[in-house]
Structure 1
Amino acid sequence: MIEIKDIYKTFGENEVLKGISAEFKPGKNNLIIGGSGSGKTTLLKCIVGLHEPTKGQVFFDGENFTDMNFEQRVPVRKHIGMLFQNSALFDSMTVEQNIIFPLNLFTDMSKSEKLDRANFCLKRVNLEGKNKLFPAELSGGMKKRVGIARAISMEPKYLFVDEPNSGLDPQTSLVIDDLINEITQEYNTTTIIVTHDMNSVMGIGDHIIFLYQGKKWWEGSNKEIAHTENKELNDFVFASKFTQAAREKL
Structure 2
Amino acid sequence: MIEIQDIYKTFGDNEVLKGITATFEAGKNNLIIGGSGSGKTTLLKCIVGLHEPTKGKVIFNGEDFTAMNFEERVPIRKQIGMLFQNSALFDSMTVEENIIFPLNLFTDMSKSEKLDRANFCLERVNLKDKNKLFPSELSGGMKKRVGIARAIAMEPKYLFVDEPNSGLDPKTSIVIDELINELTQEYKITTVIVTHDMNSVMGIGDHIIFLHQGKKAWEGTNKDIAHTDNQELNDFVFASKFTQAAKEKL
Instruction: Output the CA distance in 2 between the equivalents of 1:134 and 1:240.
Output: 37
C-alpha contact 1:33 1:40 (8 A) present in aligned 2: yes
User: What is the CA distance between 1:241 and its match in structure 2?
Assistant: 5.0
SS at match of 1:242: helix
Q: Report what 1:20 is aligned to.
A: 20
Q: Report what 2:175 is aligned to.
A: 175
User: What is the CA distance between 1:240 and its match in structure 2?
Assistant: 3.9
TM-score of the superposition, structure 2-length normalised?
0.99
User: What is the CA distance between 1:68 and its match in structure 2?
Assistant: 0.3
Q: Structure 1 runs of 4+ off > 6 angstroms?
A: none
Q: Which amino acid aligns with 2:137?
A: E
SS at match of 1:66: helix
User: What is the CA distance between 1:238 and its match in structure 2?
Assistant: 1.5
Are residues 1:147 and 2:164 paired? Answer: no
Q: Which amino acid aligns with 1:42?
A: T
Are residues 1:54 and 2:54 paired? Answer: yes
Q: Which amino acid aligns with 1:114?
A: K
Instruction: Output the CA distance in 1 between the equivalents of 2:48 and 2:186.
Output: 22
Aligned runs of 1:1-250 on 2, under 5 Å?
1-250=1-250
Q: Which amino acid aligns with 2:237?
A: V
Task: Specify whether residues 244 and 171 from structure 1 end up closer, same or farther in structure 2 by C-alpha distance, changes over 3 A only.
Answer: same
Instruction: Output the CA distance in 2 between the equivalents of 1:241 and 1:99.
Output: 40
* Count of residue correspondences: 250
Identity percentage of aligned residues: 86
Aligned alpha-carbon RMSD (Å): 0.7
TM-score of the superposition, structure 1-length normalised?
0.99
User: What is the CA distance between 1:89 and its match in structure 2?
Assistant: 0.1
Q: Which amino acid aligns with 1:56?
A: G
User: What is the CA distance between 1:36 and its match in structure 2?
Assistant: 0.1
After superposition, what is the alpha-carbon deviation per residue over 1:131-150, rounded to whole angstroms, capped at 9, x for unaligned? 00000000000000000000
After superposition, what is the alpha-carbon deviation per residue over 1:188-226, rounded to whole angstroms, capped at 9, x for unaligned? 000000000000000000000000000000000000011
Q: Which amino acid aligns with 1:246?
A: A
After superposition, what is the alpha-carbon deviation per residue over 1:83-129, rounded to whole angstroms, capped at 9, x for unaligned? 00000000000000000000000000000000000000000000000
Consecutive unaligned residues of structure 2, counting only runs of 5 or more, are none
SS at match of 1:81: strand
Instruction: Output the CA distance in 2 between the equivalents of 1:142 and 1:243.
Output: 27
C-alpha contact 1:198 1:240 (8 A) present in aligned 2: no
